[in-house]
Chains A and B, each alone.
Chain A
């Protein structure tokens, strides 16, 4: 039988060393981190059976960590125990409300904590035993196994259940019965279009949950035929996509080129370009089949009717004029610096260029642009005004070299 895996996220690992040793001796596999970010990574990769987290973690606190764990399908059922130095009832209530399964106040008795772990894990085992039929399945990342590969696997193994595929913006659902695709759902697309869109996703996660499927079949063809068709579609999609920037790239109309002879379909797609449109959104908005829309966008791009809105534009005349104006009379050394900014050279030889090159990879830019679209997060200031003033005074008043 596999050893139970425990993740301990505590801001002072040295302080729970004794607990760690006791747990290891008791047969648990234990990972410890004091950083909320790596705790999230460990929760994903280590797949603990139970998480004990302190509220006061580095980078992100225990409540954020808890919220993240409980919001993710893969980890939401993992028992989560909050550990804190605070003894207030409101703190406990808040933690429980957020989904914590238990609350431990430090300092604690190791025997008591051990018993709590055992009780919770036994409860989980019992629950899993009862609902085993409903919780069986598998999950993973699309980068490791895409939708086509998953469908092939399900077909071979003749499984029944619900396959949920998520990317950062949408969630699609495929219902499979005895390995046959029954239904596909994504936004308001038809079953066929939903399936074809889902198989083009490279990024995101999936979960397959084994369950009985009673819904009627929306497809006339066998899964084998559908998969073959999907593979062809995917090949064509990839081929055309290579001719375009990442789908999250914002494009704009080039009025001077957009007045030439265009087919009705090209005009239709071009009509959707509104100032600052993203390629992916244009495909979604187009009434045409996604592959067709993608193909038309590639043509429009090649003809120069639409163009990418650049991240940087070193040749921007206004900027150059402004820089030159501001720099009149400055030293040659500074001018040299400015010239270098305006005309970067020798980039390929540098580490920075390697990093800049990454920007041209679809993933990075795709996500980058998506970020820019998201709602801004208002930042809470975690220190009081007086604390900030004390820090300011310390910094402004000179540094005595004390460091921790």
Chain B
């Protein structure tokens, strides 16, 4: 008999009585987890919705979606406020589990920019973890030169900057691909 993979369910789902108590001894699904952090809840929600097609949790604390890559592999995307100093020790643990961070902000929102920089500082000052800084230009021309912002944000070695259109699937996927490429490169070195 073929063993069916047991997918890790969403952490915040309430206990259901419909699923039987039979714990399969099948293959555990492999999960890659990526945190999408940034000042705009709306942008994070749209990013995850575009990547996953469906938002499974959309609360103030957490936005969650999941991309099924194949039967044994799934990518979980968590939209969070970013390292929160009030949950300091937890973030250390959470970050150990993550593949990386996407720091997302609206390019046309000047108020979010200092917070973005603070988030970048928090993460790069604390973790050696791949990081992609993505500026959402969903409602702006795409001909913005990226070079200056890379310098302005003073991005650390493990960080990359990219523009993206959070309403376009391929653009969102490109952000994730950038992060995955960083990981592959890290494994190669």
Contacts and interface: CB of A to CB of B under 8 A. Distances in A.
21 contacts: A11-B11, A12-B8, A36-B97, A41-B90, A58-B33, A59-B97, A60-B90, A337-B144, A344-B113, A352-B111, A363-B85, A364-B86, A377-B92, A379-B127, A383-B183, A385-B187, A388-B184, A390-B70, A392-B177, A396-B173, A404-B7
Contact of B170 (A367, A377, A385, A398): A398
Contacts of A359: 118
B68 A58 contact: no
Nearest to B113: A341
B138 interface: no
A107 B25 contact: yes
Interface string A224-249: 00000000000000000000000000
Contact of B183 (A33, A107, A322, A388): A388
Given A14-B13, A107-B23, A371-B125, A356 B94 contact: no
A37 B148 contact: no
A104 to B, nearest CB: 11
A68 B91 CA distance: 13
A378 interface: yes
Contacts, number: 262
B96 A379 contact: yes
A382 B184 contact: no
B64 to A, nearest CB: 9
B74 A404 contact: yes
Contact of A58 (B11, B32, B70, B92): B11
Contacts of A131: none
Please name the 8 residue pairs, one residue from A and one from B, whose CB atoms are nearest each other, closest first. Answer: A35-B11, A340-B110, A367-B85, A58-B11, A372-B125, A14-B19, A18-B21, A352-B111
Given A330-B145, A333-B141, A17 B11 contact: no
Interface string A294-314: 000000000000000001100
A322 B151 contact: yes
A96 B92 CA distance: 23
A134 to B, nearest CB: 28
B48 to A, nearest CB: 10
A107 B98 CA distance: 28
Interface string B161-183: 00000000110011011001101
Interface in B14-55: 14-19, 21-25, 28, 30, 32-33, 39, 51-54
A68 B89 contact: yes
Interface residues of B, number: 97
Contact of B184 (A330, A389, A402): A389
B96 A64 contact: yes
B68 A395 contact: no
A97 interface: no
A267 B9 CA distance: 61
A60 to B, nearest CB: 4
A57 to B, nearest CB: 8
A372 B23 CA distance: 44
Given A14-B16, A403-B54, A382 B69 contact: no
Interface string A97-130: 0000000001110000000000000000000000
B21 A33 contact: no
Given A371-B125, A385-B187, A394-B69, A326 B110 contact: no
B31 to A, nearest CB: 8
Contact of B96 (A60, A319, A344, A367): A60
Given A18-B21, A381-B186, A404-B7, A35 B12 contact: yes
B93 A355 contact: no
Contacts of A319: 152
B46 to A, nearest CB: 15
Contact of A376 (B12, B88, B115, B126): B126
A209 to B, nearest CB: 23
Contacts of A395: 67, 173-174, 176-177, 180
B155 interface: no
A168 B151 CA distance: 33
A391 B32 contact: yes
Contacts of B108: 337, 340
A17 B19 contact: yes
A34 interface: yes
B122 interface: yes
A107 B40 CA distance: 42
Nearest to A380: B96
B128 interface: yes
A195 interface: no
A82 B166 CA distance: 41
Given A352-B111, A352-B112, A391-B32, 12 more contacts: A12-B6, A14-B9, A58-B8, A60-B93, A327-B145, A331-B141, A352-B109, A371-B122, A372-B121, A372-B126, A381-B99, A396-B173
